[in-house]
Amino acid sequence: MAEAHCLIFPFPIQGHINPMLQFAKRLVHKGLRVTLILTRYLAKTSPFHSPTIAVETISNGLDDGEPHGFPVSSYLSLLKEHGMASLREALHRLIRCGRPATCIVYDPFITWVPELAGEYGIKTAAFFTQSCAVDYIYHRLYSGDLKIGEEEEKAIELPGLPPLLPADLPSFVTLPESYPSLRDMVTDQFKHIENVDWVFCNTLYELEKEVIDFMAEHAPVKAIGPTIPSMYLDRKLADDTDYGLSVFRPEARLCMDWLNRQEPGSVIYVSFGSLAKLSEAQTAELAHGLKRSKRPFLWVVRAAEQGKLPEGFAAEEVPGLVISWCPQLDVLAHDAVACFVTHCGWNSTLEALCLGVPMVGMPQWTDQTTNSKFVADVWGTGVRAVGDGGIVGRESIEKCIREVMEGEKGEEIRKNVSKWKELAVAAVSEGGSSDRNIDDFVSTLRRLAVAAV
């Protein structure tokens, strides 16, 4: 019997690799043959080993190193020039080995995949790693239907979404000149989208029902998340305890030993992900806000950012631990953790929802402002810290931490996160909304593989 073969092609940064790799594991669990496509540089510096997922490597023109600060537009051009040629070679090699690709699930940042797949008659699925709401906003921006006028405080009304103030929209919408190349990248995701066979979104239907229903009227949108390791959700995938490919090296033993010494429900966990950069002034306000809370805290400050900490802060008598990186899922799952101060990147937001941890949102840029709006005002799973002149002050940070950890509001937030945690588990469990969508995808690929014989 012919075997369906799915290629998974993530954009080569940590926040985009993780969800697509977890989706690949789900497909393997459903019985599909899966091959992960990585750049040669990434495969060399962050090796991925799996007994069930094969790896093919392609070139991005920077096989010996990826210079820090390399312009996004230049990188995308190199990835297209070298990646298209080397992926074509990989497709030929798979055909010769008797393992032709049935479908390519690709990150829409890599806009040229549908064009290449079409040459080989291969089906395509666009996999969006951000929320469905954010994807919809970017699509409206791409199509020219969303423009911010002079009335900056007027709410924006979009079908399927709550009223959004400009401050709730992604920064690329409200500040179009701030990062023009990145703005082009998020809008260009929709090039060729009308030619793809599936549109997958890393979310659960119940979380974004209204916007998914609206988008589904115009495109084959399906929720297939949340894509986090099975141990933290339905526990159906054996040994799926972490993502399996990390660009960063966590200080796991140090932070877990420290957490084990803390009281249950006492710790503030603070992390702004792999890309966000706080200013020195904001770092100082956050440090003082944490001290004012008088609670133990675990603060992830990447090595390159630790010079922004207030002088002597790490050596002071503070009830906390500053580390360069940590195993975030293990931290969020620990019973000592009561609150997550976060930039509200989508992966971090989903992880907190799945593990039932209340959030204090301190969004920095891109989709984080929109995610924090939903966290605070739609899902009721946290609060959003508001700044003055772009800086969130220590008093506001302290107030927000106390709000989610104490009193009636804190209790209500904890009830809400428990509800969403249960719904997330149900979505990926057998017969759940995301599980059914994945089953439909797998069944279709199997039929296609048989028909191709």
Alpha-carbon torsion, ordered 382, 388, 392, 398, to 10 deg: -70
Distances (CA, A) of 240 to 25, 162, 429: 8, 36, 15
CA nearest to 360, candidates 305, 293, 310: 293
Identity of residue 306: Q
For every residue of 257-316, DSSP letters joined together read: HHHHTSPTT-EEEEE-TTT----HHHHHHHHHHHHHHTS-EEEE--GGGGGGSPTTTTTS
Helix residue ranges, H only, 294-406: 328-333, 346-355, 368-373, 394-405
Q: Which residues of 9-46 are buried (b: 16+ CB within 10 A; e: fewer)?
A: bbbbebbbbbbbbbbbbbbbbbebbbbbbbbbbbbeeb
Distance CA 344, CA 352 (A): 10
Options 16, 139, 334, 343, the catalytic residue = 16
> Is 107 labeled as catalytic in the residue annotation?
yes
Point out which residues pair with 271 in neighbouring strands. Answer: 342
Options 5, 82, 107, 240, the catalytic residue = 107
Distance CA 271, CA 300 (A): 5
**381's tokens:** 């799973």
For every residue of 192-251, DSSP letters joined together read: TGGG-SEEEESS-GGGSHHHHHHHHTTS-EEE----S-GGGTT--STT--S-S--SS---
For every residue of 174-186, DSSP letters joined together read: H-TTTSHHHHHHH
Pairing of strands 337-342, 320-323: unpaired
> Is 49 labeled as catalytic in the residue annotation?
no
Distance CA 18, CA 245 (A): 8
**117's tokens:** 């797949």
Distance CA 215, CA 222 (A): 10
Q: Which residues are catalytic?
A: 16, 107
